[in-house]
Amino acid sequence: MSKDKDRAIVVKRSAPKKAGHHGGAWKLAYADFMTAMMAFFLLMWLLSSASTVQLKGIADYFNQPLKITLWGGDRSAEDSSILKGGGRDISTDAQGVTRSTDGSSSRAERTASHNDEDSVKQLQGELERREQVRLHDLQVKLMAAIEANPVLRQFKQQIRIDSTLTGLRIEIVDSQKRPMFATARDVVEPYMRDILREIGHTLNDVPNRIIVQGHTDAVPYAGGEKGYSNWELSADRANASRRELVAGGMDEAKVMRVLGLASTQNLNKADPLDPENRRISIIVLNRKSEEALDHDDSTTTTLSDDAAGSKPLLQRLAQPLTAAPKLPAAAPPAQ
């Protein structure tokens, strides 16, 4: 009996069985799906960013690659690829341009060309910024010179300085009480002479060239537009202003144009007869405007073949011009 009491009791408990693993096939399928979606969106993004020429080149490339590879043939995209496709080189938009080097050198050339274009654009932008600063300094200097001169200070209401797309515009505007020129003539009044000479002295501080424009009001001459008119008067006054600018110390080579515009560009468009429309405009050209005018001067025009083959026209052009009859002088109005 005692032996039974001292015997150890062993209790065996078995752990519950775990369910078997279901496998990871769904994860592989999901990863493949996400990869395919990523490739699809990348393809759509590339197609949306490509130009029409590039899309056409891609389509031509895959149009007949096997035929050209197996049997040979002409192709526009000449590269070192084993699989030589059709179509032209899409690395450039120029027609008829082919690529005969490997991809690495072509990419290097395109990168170098792109960097050169960026450098040119940056240089042009820097030059434009410097020019804007230079013209702004000229504007400040002119305004300071007017304020410092007691004679000119009393006429500052007739001097307007502003920036335009073509450059810095300086305008001396006429007044009913203070005319800039003698009545209907190109004789410069003394105060106008002082203003022009002070401006001419200051314009030498910048290398930009200038245009001098003369404007009148719409009051016609008694003889009409056939004789001495506002066109001649505005041109003569602009040229008289040019002479005063040069007399003030401005380099004569800075003048690029002297124009007479009559009453075609009125300040007061509501009243063409307003004395304010009589003015002299001095435009300090920026680089773009100056280059555009130089380009216009250097551009030549030729007669077409049809015009050159018209003998009667050439004969008429070759005939000497007869002098126009002189018109009687008309009494000028008050300008």
- Would you say residue 166 has pLDDT above 80? yes
pLDDT at 299: 63
- Would you say residue 279 has pLDDT above 90? yes
- Tens of pLDDT, residue by residue over 292-323, are 888 876 665 554 444 444 455 445 545 554 44
- Would you say residue 92 has pLDDT above 70? no
β-strands 210-215, 159-163 pairing: unpaired
- Name the DSSP class of 227: S
Beta-carbon contacts of 197 under 8 Å, excluding residues fewer than 6 positions away, are 244, 245, 247, 248, 249
pLDDT at 59: 75
Picking from 62-66, 193-197, 260-264, which range would have the lowest pLDDT averaged per residue? 62-66
Taking residues 53-72, report their average pLDDT: 67
- Would you say residue 110 has pLDDT above 70? no
Please report which helix (H) or strand (E) contains residue 257, including its range. strand 255-260
- Tens of pLDDT, residue by residue over 192-234, are 998 899 888 888 888 889 999 999 998 887 766 677 889 999 9
What is the DSSP track for 35-73?
Answer: HHHHHHHHHHHHHHHS-HHHHHHHHHHTTSHHHHHHH--
pLDDT at 106: 54
Strand partners, 32: none
pLDDT at 207: 85
pLDDT at 243: 95
CATH number of the domain located at residue range(s) 131-299 in this protein: 3.30.1330.60
User: Higher pLDDT residue, 276 or 21?
Assistant: 276
- Would you say residue 90 has pLDDT above 70? no
